[in-house]
Amino acid sequence: MPTSAPRITALDTYDIRFPTSLELDGSDAMNPDPDYSAAYLVLRTDAREGLEGHGFTFTIGRGNDIQVAAIDALRPHVMGRSVDELCADPGSLYRDLIGDSQLRWLGPEKGVMHMAIGAVINAVWDLAAKREGKPLWQLLADAEPEWLAGQVDYRYIEDALTRDEAVAILRRGRQGRTARELDLHARGYPAYTTSPGWLGYSDEKLTRLAHRAVADGFTQIKLKVGADLDDDIRRLRAARTAVGPDIRIAIDANQRWNVDEAVTWITALAEFDPYWIEEPTSPDDILGHAAIRTRVAPVKVATGEHVHNRIIFKQLLQAGAVDVLQLDAARVAGVNENLAILLLAAKFGIPVCPHAGGVGLCELVQHLSMFDYLSVSGTTENRMIEFVDHLHQHFTDPVVIRDGHYAAPRTPGFSARMLPESIARFSYPDGEFWAAGLAGAGTADTVGREAAA
């Protein structure tokens, strides 16, 4: 038993890949055959009861090893650090990681290196929440406004959000919080489902899953579009027929178009009353999104899952380029940068509907949306978290969906822990699944996916 204050004793990394390409789960206009993967890490400590922090970033297969190498490169920044100090101020590590001048050259604050930082920062928040014995959403909602505002890096966003403004938003967020927390426990947080809409699914499967979504209590579904206009018209017609006029149908082009193409395509689909068009073009194209939004109204424009940092989100808001902001839990630099993004969205009055799915993204992002409801925006109006029914069985604290809502997690932490047997089985290339060459003989069972029907 250690006599001194507890420290980080190891940062262990794992290259986890699920062979989702076998079933075309996750297929869209830009990603025809993803193998959903996680560059996963565990922060180990010598604290009481084997306290650990778990984190990961999501990739879709090849390159997951590069992502793991990038996480490995951050190890010197965390080894030996005081657990108490880290948990008291995760922002100190966040600033150290984005401030490493040599690694910063590989971004700055974007791509592989930035996602690696996100994975490590999220693991620290998992550690901090477990140490407090609270689910992360509650740790955040219970925190002092001044402390939370101090977790944000205002560099490059101060022209849109100052620290004083952040504190004011968070103070205002305390009003009525008790009632909202009761509501959250009773009702959960609204979800929509993407499960019916993958591009590789047949019309029959789409229709069946759309019916199922409505029966399950979802009020919005999402369809992938953008590969072929005739196909999209046929699929949207089938979906609208299946769900009726009162269920929202969002469509998602996964960055497929130029500005003019986007406008033409969306206009051709307007008769099916799409609620939003997601990722109509490059996530880097702020002005392009603004132009598209003006031209396709009243269809809303949504983006964010590939937006690489708070600086691009800031400009999407400044330029009036989006109606819906879709933050991702693990593409930006983790909870600290997502605090900035939630506060920016609140400042501009734009609803946040997080990207989820992938591996464990639903598990992570529910904490951020629930905190947003309790303490930042103070509302769930026009706000929903994406839900995809893949791969949850690999987590120790999987999301729970009831009547189209995410139930508030009660287990301490960030819901980020993967089952040891899943890590062992799907580690690449030496885990049991990959070593046995099972990918070639894929079945729904070897894919490790829940039955979709």
Q: Which of residues 29-58 bind a copy of itself (CB under 8 A)?
A: 30-35
Q: Which of residues 353-412 bind a copy of itself (CB under 8 A)?
A: none
CA-CA distance, 316 to 312, in Å (whole number)?
6
Q: Which is nearer to a copy of itself, 181 or 285 (CB)?
A: 285
Stretch that binds a copy of itself, among 87-95, 187-195, 315-323, 346-354 (CB under 8 A): 315-323
Minimum gap (Å) between residue 398 Cβ and a copy of itself? 23
Q: Which of 300, 308, 355, 394 is catalytic?
A: 355
| Contact yes or no for 324/350 (Cβ under 8 A) | yes
Please report whether residue 24 would count as binding a copy of itself according to CB under 8 A. Answer: no
Q: Which is nearer to a copy of itself, 331 or 394 (CB)?
A: 331
Please report whether residue 287 would count as binding a copy of itself according to CB under 8 A. Answer: yes
Q: 5, 12, 62, 436: which one contacts a copy of itself (CB under 8 A)?
A: 62
Q: Which is nearer to a copy of itself, 8 or 112 (CB)?
A: 112
Q: 44, 104, 174, 177: which one contacts a copy of itself (CB under 8 A)?
A: 104
Minimum gap (Å) between residue 262 Cβ and a copy of itself? 10
Q: Which is nearer to a copy of itself, 113 or 152 (CB)?
A: 113
Q: 82, 219, 282, 396: which one contacts a copy of itself (CB under 8 A)?
A: 282
Minimum gap (Å) between residue 117 Cβ and a copy of itself? 12
Q: 207, 220, 281, 336: which one contacts a copy of itself (CB under 8 A)?
A: 281
Please report whether residue 118 would count as binding a copy of itself according to CB under 8 A. Answer: no
| Contact yes or no for 128/94 (Cβ under 8 A) | no
Q: Which is nearer to a copy of itself, 288 or 413 (CB)?
A: 288
Q: Which is nearer to a copy of itself, 12 or 158 (CB)?
A: 158
User: Can 222 be counted among the known catalytic residues?
Assistant: no
Q: Which is nearer to a copy of itself, 59 or 138 (CB)?
A: 59
Q: 102, 164, 245, 445: which one contacts a copy of itself (CB under 8 A)?
A: 102
User: Can 355 be counted among the known catalytic residues?
Assistant: yes
Q: 50, 105, 349, 451: which one contacts a copy of itself (CB under 8 A)?
A: 105
Minimum gap (Å) between residue 66 Cβ and a copy of itself? 5
How big is the site for a copy of itself, counted in residues (CB under 8 A)? 60
Please report whether residue 289 would count as binding a copy of itself according to CB under 8 A. Answer: no
Per-residue three-class SS string for the chain: CCCCCCEEEEEEEEEEECCHHHCCCCCCCCCCCCCCEEEEEEEEECCHHHCEEEEEEEECCCCHHHHHHHHHCCHHHHCCCEHHHHHHCHHHHHHHHHHCHHHHCCCCCCHHHHHHHHHHHHHHHHHHHHHHCCEHHHHHHHCCHHHHHCCCCCCCCCCCCCHHHHHHHHHHCCCCHHHHHHHHHHHCEEEEEEEEECCCCCHHHHHHHHHHHHHCCCCEEEEECCCCHHHHHHHHHHHHHHHCCCCEEEEECCCCCCHHHHHHHHHHHHHHCEEEEECCCCCCCHHHHHHHHHHHCCCEEEECCCCCCHHHHHHHHHCCCCCEECCCCCCCCHHHHHHHHHHHHHHHCCCECCCCCCCCHHHHHHHHHHHHHHHHCCCCCCCCEEECCCCHHHECCCCCEECCEECCCCCCECCCCECHHHHHHHECCCCHHHHCCHHHHCCHHHHCCCCCC
Closest CA to 50 of 83, 14, 23, 94: 83
Please report whether residue 115 would count as binding a copy of itself according to CB under 8 A. Answer: yes
What is the contact surface with a copy of itself in residues (CB under 8 A)? 30-35, 59-63, 65-67, 69-70, 73, 100-115, 154-156, 158-159, 255, 258-260, 281-288, 291, 306, 308-309, 311-312, 314-315, 318-319
The residues annotated with a catalytic role in the active site are 224, 355
